[in-house]
Amino acid sequence: MADTGSAPAEPSQIAFARWDKRMRESIRPLLTRKVIAEHKRDPVGIHSDALDRVLNYFRRPNLLERYVIVCTRPFKQWRIARITGVPGEAPVFVDERTYSSEAKAAHAVFLMRVEQMTRD
């Protein structure tokens, strides 16, 4: 076997990557227009089983980008930032868009994760 110059992956990393792949395969069919519309109506309420499953996956540590919602003007304006993963490093805003409610920002994050799930 040729040496590729990179260290072999830890067994736990291999297991996690396999688990994440299986989870993505089971979550993708749940990402329907109906589920997306349900989330838009109420991002933080009681949800259907399908949306609960999607949100549970999105909230777990996984291979998706990690986002936070930042209130830039109290009770008036929110923006989305990406967590860098480096301790002590501030989140980085993903773009210049602003949202008039936390719920709208939460739905925008949801759509970003849906888009990532469908392209990966």
pLDDT tens digits, residue range 54-108?
999 999 887 788 999 999 999 999 999 999 888 999 999 999 999 999 999 999 9
- Segment 17-44 mean pLDDT: 95
pTM for the full predicted model? 0.85
Beta carbons of 50 and 30 less than 8 angstroms apart: yes
* 98-117 confidence digits (pLDDT tens): 999 999 999 999 999 999 99
Q: How far apart are CA 80 and CA 29, in angstroms?
A: 26
Domain map (residue ranges) of the chain = 11-119
CA–CA separation, 30 and 117 (whole Å): 11
Provide the pLDDT confidence category of residue 1 given band limits of 50, 70 and 90: very low
Sole residue written with tokens 């739905």: 107
